[in-house]
Amino acid sequence: MREKDVMTSITHLHGGHPFFVSLYCTFQDPTRLYFAMTYARNGDLLQCLQRLGSFDDEVTLFYSAEIVCALDFLHRCGIIHRDLKPENILLNDNRHIMLSDFGTAKFLNPEDNFGARDRDVLPRGEESHHRSRSTFVGTAQYVSPEVLVDGDVGPSCDYWALGAIIFQMVSGMPPFRSVNDYHTFQKIQKLDYSFPEGFPELPKDLVQKFLITDPRKRLGSVEMGGVDMVRSHPYFATIDWDNLSLKTPPELKPYLPASSGEPAFHSDYQIPLIEPGLDDAALTRLMGLSLKDFVPMSAHMSSVDSNRTGEDERNRKLSIQRQAHKYHRFVDDHLILKSGLLDKKKGLFARRRMFLLTEGPHIYYVDPVNMELKGKIPFSRRLRTEAKNFRTFFVHTPNRTYYLFDPERNALDWCNAIEALRERYLDELPDEPESPCTKSGKQKR
């Protein structure tokens, strides 16, 4: 019932706001309560981050500003969200944000001065029985330190979450990450995080001011001047706060920030239905690259033959592979056509993986240190490649763009090989790929 009360207050008592979902009505059957709410046609920020990896500077600034506006309205309504995260930030038809999921939100009593102990997460009547139990609410990677220690919880806990979200939009990963929630909580309480190389200075300064363990000293808190001080931060110098909801949001496009000596790369790429990925436009652009940068394909990598390998020859190669290739156990007994170490990038983070292009067709990637299969890039008729230079290339799928870096400068070879294999199996491929999962069903890096 908490969510219904909060949404009723936002929508009807306070007149609603363009950056929030609206509650139109509720109804119930003997076992469930149903909500009729605004439809978010464009999904949520988490889905966008999963598809693109990270956002460019313009997109990050725009959505950060919209979240600030939404929190300002919410707090003026006397409500704190307490579970702000990318998954709860929806996008409407025009790609403006709509805050949602108020199941753990809290009404503030003005007489408490935001200092009441938060024990209303328990069902009514059970408070005394569970008084010693933890009152943690929220999501591990975005929860503030004061929530973890059952301390004073006020509006500044939402600004902590905003700091973590901005960090993720810029870099591709949240600031506090670990093997489980307990170790993530430990990192949060110790403020154990670091900025990756290449993190821009203005959003870095803002994030540092949001990720302060003392909520009274955190930017956005009443003691630090509230939302006015947030809006006056230099990061938001170009924002027209009064007309933000009327602006056209910037395009959400594949983007790889500058890192490791490589420039930033944008892409206007749209997934087509039939056109090949390495098209004339891409080849024309690549002809402008300096030929001195070109390095032929390494001898240990085999190129993809556009024709089916003779069955006898295939079986001979597969027999040798079973005995001699250390990565054969990861490819489900498929013949490996091309392999090599690539950096799999997500925002400002990169992890080296052994990529294995096989018959089937399949693209597996393996952690070469722990010898663990991390996942597969799902093949479909709509998969396309895009070479950015001789070391960096993108693999576009309908649900995600993969950003890959080849230290051996064989990006063109990889694009050609993947495209040739896609054409070879074109009639057998599905229009839409399966989810990019490991055998266990969990997506990994």
Q: pLDDT for 15-40, tens place per residue?
A: 999 999 999 999 999 999 999 999 99
Question: Residue 289: what pLDDT?
Answer: 47
Range of the domain at 230: 42-109+139-248
Is there a single domain that holds both residue 236 and residue 382? no
Catalytic residue positions?
Answer: 83
Is there a single domain that holds both residue 239 and residue 371? no
Number of domains in the chain: 2
Question: Residue 112: what pLDDT?
Answer: 35
* Residue 304 placed within a domain: no
Question: Residue 137: what pLDDT?
Answer: 63
Does residue 359 or residue 299 have the better pLDDT?
Answer: 359
Coil vs helix vs strand at 387 = strand
Question: Residue 279: what pLDDT?
Answer: 53
Is there a single domain that holds both residue 241 and residue 342? no
* Residue 238 placed within a domain: yes
* The model scores a pTM over 0.75: yes
> pLDDT digit string (tens) for 161-202?
999 999 999 999 999 999 999 999 999 999 999 999 999 999
Is there a single domain that holds both residue 243 and residue 329? no
If one counts every other C-beta atom within 10 angstroms of the C-beta of residue 421, the result is: 24
Name the band, by pLDDT with cuts 50, 70 and 90, for residue 132: very low
C-alpha 121/C-alpha 106 separation (Å) is 9
C-alpha 174/C-alpha 161 separation (Å) is 10
* Residue 9 placed within a domain: no
Is there a single domain that holds both residue 85 and residue 195? yes
Mean pLDDT across 87-99: 97
Of 231, 248, 265, the domain-final residue: 248
Is there a single domain that holds both residue 220 and residue 337? no
C-alpha 241/C-alpha 437 separation (Å) is 41
Residue with tokens 């694009």: 415
* Domain CATH number, residue 354: 2.30.29.30
> pLDDT digit string (tens) for 193-235?
999 999 999 999 999 999 999 999 999 999 999 999 999 999 9
* Residue 300 placed within a domain: no
> pLDDT digit string (tens) for 389-440?
999 999 999 999 999 999 999 999 999 999 999 999 999 998 887 755 444 4
